[in-house]
Amino acid sequence: MILAEKLTSMAYWSHFVSIALFALGLLGFLTRRNALIVLMSLELMLNAVNLLLVQISMRTGTSEGIVLVVFVITVAAAEVAVGLGIILNLYRMKKTVDLGSFRNLSG
């Protein structure tokens, strides 16, 4: 595809939105040190993938992608439930949710 054609096609921009969302999530995951925001960034990344799946599924007229998204949503819910439980426990230990202060947990 030539560039001009690309820039007017909605499919291209849909990919762009999904990937930009993923990149934002990854950026938050890498740079923020607040455990809660790191968890939120993970959610953003999962949602970026969902967005791409839905979009491809709708474009090709199949339903498998949507079923997959349903499973992803369940796993995301589980991840949040466990993740926040862990964060609550960490907060009880150190009275902070800054990830830098939990270095001594490794090894």
Partner 1 sequence: MKEAVFTFFSLFTLLTAAGVILSRNIIYSAFNLVLCFFGLASLYLLWGATFLSMIQILIYAGAIVVLFVFVVMLLNFEKPTEQKTRFSIIVLSSAGVWTLALILLRVLSKSLGEIPSLETPAKASVRTISKLLFSQYLWPFEVLTVFLLALIVGIFVLARPEKEETP
Partner 2 sequence: METLLPLAILLVVTLLLCAGILIVTQVLGPKNPVPSRFEAYECGIKPESGSHVPFKSSFYLIAVLFLLFDVEAAFFLPWALVYKDSLAEGPALLWALLVYLGLMAVGLVYILQKKILRLN
3-state secondary structure at position 97: coil
> Could you tell me the smallest distance in angstroms from the CB atom of residue 106 to partner 1?
18
> Could you tell me the smallest distance in angstroms from the CB atom of residue 105 to partner 2?
21
3-state secondary structure at position 98: strand
Question: Residues 11, 19, 23, 73: which binds partner 2 (CB under 8 A)?
Answer: 73
Question: Residues 85, 86, 93, 94: which binds partner 2 (CB under 8 A)?
Answer: 85
How far apart are alpha carbons 96 and 6 in whole angstroms?
Answer: 47
> Could you tell me the smallest distance in angstroms from the CB atom of residue 107 to partner 1?
22
How far apart are alpha carbons 101 and 91 in whole angstroms?
Answer: 11
How far apart are alpha carbons 25 and 40 in whole angstroms?
Answer: 8
Residue numbers of the site for partner 2 (CB under 8 A)?
70, 73-74, 77-78, 80-81, 84-85, 88
